[in-house]
Structure 1
Amino acid sequence: MIAQLTDLHICATGRLAARVVETNMLAERAFRTLAALRPVPDLLVISGDLTENGLEEEYRNFVQLIERYARMPVYLIPGNHDRRAEFRKIIGHLPGVCDHPDFIQYAVEDFPVRLVMLDTVVPGHAYGAMDGGRMGFLDRTLAAAPNRSTMIVLHHPPFRCGSNSMDILNRYLLNPAGGRSAVMLR
């Protein structure tokens, strides 16, 4: 069983996300729920926006939740609220986080379903992209075992999802530089 969390937006202690929402309490509630699941999930995937501002204190708060509640392997990718340098500095000890020189993306081959963890972050922007280096990684990874069951994990949805704000942003994922993109479905 695979458990998945996303958009935790963990803040520095005493701060609110967007100055409105107590996300730390909500994230802890989600982790407590995860810890109480029976059977225990085989792994946990967290698909981006671990933090609200990509600050080291926010990542340290995130690590405390992982250490306290996650009793299974944890695999994660960044979202547009995360910052790669701080992400790697504080949680680089987790599997795959430091495998790629430019992006936080990697493949997990240890389970019946292969995980392909893709980094779609464009620093400083809310939208995501799958440009040449990222598409090349995806193409090579899929080609290495074309008949293997695979789950692709990314933060930005590569299809119309029915949310106007997300559907506007995901048009950049389709074709950020006029080149080929295989992930956007219209």
Structure 2
Amino acid sequence: MTLIAQISDLHVQTPGQLAYGVVDTNRLVAQAIAQINQLQPHPDAIVASGDLVQHGTIDEYETLKTILSPLRSPLFLMPGNHDCRANLRQVFTHQPFSLSPLGHLSYAVDCDPLRLILLDNTHPKKKAGWLDEQRLKWLAHQLEEAPQSPTIIFMHHPPFLTGIPWMDRHQLEGERELKALVAKHQQVERVSCGHLHRGMYCRWAGAIASAQPSLVHQGGLELRPDTPSQFVMEPPAYQLHIWKNQSLISHIAFIGKFDGPYRFSDGRRVTSLTHN
């Protein structure tokens, strides 16, 4: 069994700041890290799929580094549209992208038997995602290099429509080319993304594409076409991807203290891991 925890959209700020004047992102992220550290067994890897900080400043990345430092599992970072590649690279000098000659911060990690591809689809001047010819060629090479390895592609911006009008106003540029490429490679189990602050799944390019909740605030589920972009303080959450018996299963795990667990057999509280 292989465990991959995916956290996303942390929006960490310098101490004392609230995102949008509302959200204490630093406190929420710290709570999430403490809860993930309690997982047994520990994840084999943790992927943070973008929007690591709010404004992309050096000070924010230094704060992020401190908050993430207690993690007990290997951590792999990638940027989102709120991030600054240069500052991210400057602070996190031990990440695989730190010495990369690429203009983008894409890289691959082998987490036996899984192959994790972290594809940077951000553009410094665009809110929407963007994949140019260089990045698509890089991805093609990564997929051709290990055709037998079950693969998860991590990106910040999802490649699919959500059905939520305010979310769908900005489309991923290069989506058609990406879809055609992924459809050629049956080893791709999942295209797992952040950005939208909401859990969702769809069939895409012969695989499953998904977005995941944020560790801090969630995108509003508002289906009317004339509504503005908005967030709600639904519970923070992350995804735990489990590779077992040649299959990838993904769980949404909520952050916080909730009542229980109770046994289905008699309603009594579970006090031992040996109880069923």
TM-score (norm 2): 0.61
- Determine which structure has more spread, i.e. the larger CA radius of gyration: 2
Letter in 1 for 2:58: E
Count of residue pairs brought into register by the alignment: 181
- Per residue, is there more strand in 1 or in 2? 2
Write out aligned runs for 1:3-42 (5 A). 3-42=5-44
| Runs of at least 5 residues in structure 1 that lack an aligned partner in the other structure | none
Q: Is the 8 A contact 2:30 2:68 kept in 1?
A: no
Question: Tell me, what secondary structure is at the counterpart of 2:37?
Answer: helix
Looking at structure 1, the residues matched to 11 and 174 of structure 2 have their Cα atoms a distance apart, in angstroms, of: 22
Letter in 1 for 2:65: V
Letter in 1 for 2:11: H
1:108 has 2:109 as partner: yes
TM-score (norm 1): 0.89
Identity %: 36
Structure 1 residue 92: Cα displacement: 2.5
Looking at structure 1, the residues matched to 99 and 22 of structure 2 have their Cα atoms a distance apart, in angstroms, of: 33
Corresponding residue of 2:162: 161
Letter in 2 for 1:15: Q
Cα gap change, 1:103/1:171 in structure 2, threshold over 3 Å: closer, same or farther?
closer
Letter in 2 for 1:143: E
Structure 1 residue 38: Cα displacement: 1.4
Letter in 2 for 1:136: K
Structure 1 residue 171: Cα displacement: 4.3
Write out aligned runs for 1:170-185 (5 A). 170-174=171-175, 180-182=177-179, 185=204
Structure 1 residue 128: Cα displacement: 0.7
Over aligned residue pairs, what C-alpha RMSD do you find?
1.9
Structure 1 residue 14: Cα displacement: 1.0
Q: Is the 8 A contact 2:157 2:172 kept in 1?
A: no
Looking at structure 2, the residues matched to 173 and 7 of structure 1 have their Cα atoms a distance apart, in angstroms, of: 22
Looking at structure 1, the residues matched to 92 and 101 of structure 2 have their Cα atoms a distance apart, in angstroms, of: 14
- Per residue, is there more helix in 1 or in 2? 1
Question: Tell me, what secondary structure is at the counterpart of 1:36?
Answer: coil
Q: Is the 8 A contact 1:47 1:153 kept in 2?
A: yes
1:118 has 2:119 as partner: yes
